[in-house]
Amino acid sequence: MSRKIVASLFISLDGVVEAPDQWHFPYFNDEMGAAVDAGLRAADTMLFGRVTYDSFAGAWPEREAAGAEDADFAKQLGDMRKIVFSRSPLDFQWRNSEQAEGDVAEVAAALKDEPGGDIALSGSVSIVRQLLAAGLLDELHLLVHPVAVRKGMRLFDEGEPSVPLRLLTSETFGTGVLHLVYGPDAAPPTGGYEEAVAALGE
């Protein structure tokens, strides 16, 4: 059985995934913390784009060293293998970090065939898009916040083809956040207006 690739994203009602630090925190509670932790617990490897990696590397090593209440989570991140996609050579200070050798689809496909735990992403929207397009993303966890941000990059940009997904699980948090887990849909529904009308008449 191959390893799963699992991506988790904070997302607004209007699909914005950019700069969640500006709108996410009012909705954070123990339920969301447990969901984020669960998404990483089965993983031993993380994939990053350069921007997301720099954000993580600029915060979590210091939190681990400080020994605050999130130090255990910070240590978990530090202990994981971290693979970063970048067009420029990188100099890593955070342990267990390495630069990807190859494009996203090549690296992800090779990792899925290796032994080990799951492969996780948090943020790194460009990587998520490429994995979806290549059919390599096994689970997409969306933490949908009840706010329309109205500016910023959205998860799904304009383009072809469409990406059919199947809802695996759903959960509602006390803050109104929806935790939706999607997987690829190998046999999406078909039909048009006529079929819909016919179904209404049944």
Residue type, 117: G
pLDDT in tens, the chain (202 residues): 679 999 999 999 999 999 999 999 999 999 999 998 887 888 999 999 999 999 999 999 999 999 888 899 899 999 999 999 999 999 999 999 999 999 999 999 999 999 999 999 998 999 999 999 999 999 999 999 999 999 999 999 887 788 899 999 999 999 999 999 999 998 888 878 887 777 786 6
DSSP states along 56-79: HHTTHHHHHHHT-TTHHHHHHHHH
* 184 vs 168: CA distance, rounded Å: 10
Contact 139, 6 (CB under 8 A): yes
Q: What does the pLDDT read at residue 157?
A: 83
Going by the DSSP 8-state scheme, the letter that residue 174 receives in this structure is T
- For the chain, domain boundaries: 5-200
CA 79 to chain centre: 19
Q: What does the pLDDT read at residue 198?
A: 78
Q: What does the pLDDT read at residue 2?
A: 77
Which CATH number does 5-200 carry? 3.40.430.10
* 95 vs 74: CA distance, rounded Å: 12
**């050579």: which residue's tokens?**
89
* 196 vs 181: CA distance, rounded Å: 26
Q: What does the pLDDT read at residue 202?
A: 63
- HSE (side-chain half, CA atoms, 13 Å) at 156: 14
